[in-house]
């Protein structure tokens, strides 16, 4: 099983700042098979990034993804108030899909 570890667990920033969220895999993941999701309270996750760096339909360009191998990053360039929620990474490289435990973005 590929374990995804997200850091930090909670990130405290202010609107307008830049956020950098990390997802580290226990073994190498093809960048083609790494996704990021955003989850608003009480809602289902929403796909932000797939293939490590491709934005999903309708996702603002302030969201970007990068990385390869075991280290992947989600960057939010200028935080908007609605961005202060929870983010998950997911790998679908192996036959057992796994998610990270999540990073909560909180407003400072």
Partner 1 sequence: QVQLQESGPGLVKPSETLSLTCTVSGGSVSSGSYYWNWIRQSPGKGLEWIGYIYYSGSTNYNPSLKSRITISIDTSKNQFSLKLSSVTAADTAVYYCARGFMTRKVRDAFDIWGQGTMVTVSS
Task: Print the binding letters for residues 30-69 with partner 1: x by CB under 8 A, - otherwise.
Answer: --xx-x-x-----xxxxx--xx----xx------------
The smaller minimum CB distance to partner 1, of residues 23 and 35, is found at 35
Interface stretch with partner 1, choices 8-16, 18-26, 67-75, 88-96 (CB under 8 A): 88-96
Residue 102 binds partner 1 (CB under 8 A): yes
CB of 8 to partner 1, least distance (A): 15
Q: How many CA atoms lie within 13 A of 19 on its CB side?
A: 31
Residue 101 binds partner 1 (CB under 8 A): yes
8 A C-beta contact, residue 64 and residue 55: yes
Which positions lie near partner 1, rule CB under 8 A? Answer: 32-33, 35, 37, 43-47, 50-51, 56-57, 88, 90, 92, 95-102
């Amino acid at each position: 099983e590929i374990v995804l570890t997200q850091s930090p667990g909670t990130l405290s920033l202010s609107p307008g700042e830049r956020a950098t969220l990390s997802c580290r895999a226990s073994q190498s993941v093809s960048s083609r098979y790494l996704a990021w999701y955003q989850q608003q309270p009480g809602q289902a996750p929403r796909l932000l990034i797939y293939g490590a760096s491709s934005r999903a339909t309708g996702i603002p360009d302030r969201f970007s993804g990068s990385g390869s191998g075991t280290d992947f990053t989600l960057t939010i360039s200028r935080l908007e108030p609605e961005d202060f929620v929870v983010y998950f990474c997911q790998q679908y490289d192996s036959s057992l899909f796994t998610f990270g435990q999540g990073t909560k973005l909180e407003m400072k």
